[in-house]
Amino acid sequence: MNKELQEIARNLLTEKTVDVIIGYEKGYDDLHGRPVFIDSPEDVDKLIINKYCTNNLAVYLPIHRKIKIGIVAKVCDLKSIRELIKEHQIPKENVVIIDIVCEGVVRKGDIEQIDERCVGCDDKYQGTKAQRHKGTKAVEDFEKLSSKEKGNFWDREFERCLRCYACRQACPVCYCPDCFAQRNMPEYLNAKVSTEENKKFQMVRMQHVFGRCTDCRACENACPVGIPLSLITMKIAKDAFELFGYVSGIDEETRPPLSSFLKDEVLEEIM
């Protein structure tokens, strides 16, 4: 698959269809791929694709929106690209998607086994159907806990959060140049790292990505202290589907629920 990918990239650059290719190259060993930017046909042999290429490359698109980009896209990336197009963060005409057949990736912490949620991904070959929004066993088990148990669980998890913001930085739909977490007029978050402030950060971030998050797991993969953020992203994907019938990233047209509600719709709910 690498040779085929390199050939596509070579043609795109040689014919000047794109200015740069965003893809993956070998990382510091064979078990790690890492993002790479290639702007010369001579360098395309660096491109690889395998189960260790985990990053969601769509995260780079908003900041490079003014140039023509060829992007290697797994299904997770493809869904994020669709959300970014909908949100006018990237002009569709500036993106050439190099859609690869994804057979699943190995996430951090388990260097051999394909992520079990990848195994259950119906999108692998079509890029059109999604299933995870219907819920997973992990989410169903979590939903059975009492409020107190849920609170205790997240207290234990966010106790070790460093507030490094790697989760936000790795997230394709967290592209705000002026994130609430850094504002000081007014100050939403105390700079001091504490369980309460850590939880507040992630709670607000998850509200902001509700209905836009594609459950790609890039945030969880970036977290240096192993906080199971995908438990939240799977839950909000399920809620978005059950409450609004919405599945993120399934197309380039349908507006996310929180950006398409009608005034009357809200009033009706309140009354």
Residues that bind ligand SF4 (CB under 6 A): 161-168, 170-174, 176, 179-181, 202, 205, 208-209, 213-219, 222-225, 227, 233
Give the nearer residue to ligand SF4 in terms of CB position, either 152 or 194: 194
How far CA 140 is from CA of 127, 133, 137, 228, 256, in Å, comes to 26, 12, 5, 15, 24
Beta strands in 27-170 (DSSP E): 33-38, 69-73, 95-99
Q: What minimum distance in Å lies between the beta carbon of 64 and ligand SF4? A: 17
* CA neighbor of 74 nearest in space, from 53, 96, 102, 113: 102
Q: What minimum distance in Å lies between the beta carbon of 17 and ligand SF4? A: 28
Alpha-carbon distance of 86 to 257, in angstroms, equals 12
* CA neighbor of 220 nearest in space, from 54, 72, 82: 54
DSSP element (H, E) containing 20: strand 20-26
> What ranges in the chain are assigned the alpha helix state H?
2-14, 75-86, 116-119, 137-143, 147-158, 166-170, 195-209, 218-222, 229-244, 263-270
Q: What minimum distance in Å lies between the beta carbon of 35 and ligand SF4? A: 14
Give the nearer residue to ligand SF4 in terms of CB position, either 96 or 231: 231
Give the nearer residue to ligand SF4 in terms of CB position, either 1 or 162: 162
Alpha-carbon distance of 229 to 71, in angstroms, equals 26
Q: What minimum distance in Å lies between the beta carbon of 236 and ligand SF4? A: 8
Q: What minimum distance in Å lies between the beta carbon of 113 and ligand SF4? A: 19
Q: What minimum distance in Å lies between the beta carbon of 117 and ligand SF4? A: 11
Give the nearer residue to ligand SF4 in terms of CB position, either 47 or 161: 161
Residue 188 has which token pair? 């939403």
Give the nearer residue to ligand SF4 in terms of CB position, either 40 or 194: 194
Give the nearer residue to ligand SF4 in terms of CB position, either 45 or 87: 87
